[in-house]
Amino acid sequence: MKILVIKFRHIGDVLLSSVLAKNLKEIYLGSTVDYLVNAESIDMLTLNPNIDNVYGYDRKKAKKLCRLFNSLEVDDTKVKKEVLKDLFQTEETPYIEPNFWCDYGYNIKFGKKFYANHNLTILDVNTVTFGDNVMCGPNVQIYTAGHPLDATERISGLEFGKPIVIGDNAWIGGGAIILPNITIGNNVVIAAGSVVTKDIPDNVVVGGNPAKIIKKL
């Protein structure tokens, strides 16, 4: 298991939360514990033997780029592409209708000919990988982030991130929600309003909450 602890508070709060790493290692044997913090907090955590990786990022950058993208005029096509390249740190430019929101941007990897209708939200505290020719309807939500069920752990600020992989030629219907740690196969159709809680094999249509196979293609 890979555990990501996200702390964007003051340096003192980050230092106090770092004692959690030892407990997490003991509870989840064999796990890796990573920290994502503001850049000024990196040095104090790098020598902690219970923390495997420390990442620094200014989360505000992604929020600012999303706001800029959403504010652009319809005809500002060239500017939109440049904003998305900066946000995703990639040369592969997806076609995304505003509004669009994400946490970091650089954790999202697109295949060729990606299209998303309005109001796509991706919480990318872990990686989200799209294959080629993926289509998303309006109001699709993709979450790699989650929180512990235990209230004490949850209110301490602990958050985990698990990856999502979406295969080639997938069509994700409007209002669908994809939860963490999901792999979706090739040529899959996800019906509007579905909540995907488990992996989906190739060549099927799924629907419902939780999403179940309703047709093989």
Judgement on whether residues 43 and 117 belong to the same structural domain of the protein:
no
| Contact indicator for 151, 129 with CB cutoff of 8 Å | no
Tell me how far apart the alpha carbons of residues 162 and 110 are, in angstroms, rounded to a whole number. 17
171 touches 190 (CB < 8 A): yes
Asked whether 3 and 34 are in contact (CB, 8 A), the reply is: yes
C-alpha to C-alpha distance for 23 and 37, rounded to whole angstroms = 19
28 and 132, same domain (yes or no): no
Whether residues 37 and 142 share a domain: the answer is: no
The answer to whether residues 90 and 128 belong to one domain is: yes
pTM score, whole prediction: 0.78
pLDDT confidence of residue 111:
96
- Give the number of domains in the chain: 2
Q: What pLDDT shows up at residue 9? A: 59
10-58 pLDDT, tens digit per residue, is: 666 677 677 788 888 888 888 888 887 776 677 778 888 888 888 766 6
- Mark whether 37 and 78 lie in a shared domain: no
The verdict on 36 and 100 lying in the same domain is no
Cα–Cα distance between 4 and 70 in angstroms, integer? 29
User: Quick one: 63 and 149 in the same domain?
Assistant: yes
Query: What's the pLDDT tens digit per position in 142-190?
Result: 999 998 899 988 887 778 889 999 999 999 999 999 999 999 999 999 9
Average pLDDT, the chain: 90
Q: Do 207 and 194 fall into the same domain? A: yes
Whole-number pLDDT of residue 23: 87
Domain of 37 in residue numbering reads as 2-56
Q: Say if residue 2's pLDDT is above 80.
A: no
Residue 3 bridge partners (DSSP)? 33
Rounded Cα distance, 198 and 217, in Å: 19
What angle, rounded to 10 degrees, do the helices at 59-71 and 77-88 form? 160
List active site positions: 147
| Cβ neighbours of residue 151 closer than 8 Å, sequence gap 6 or more | none
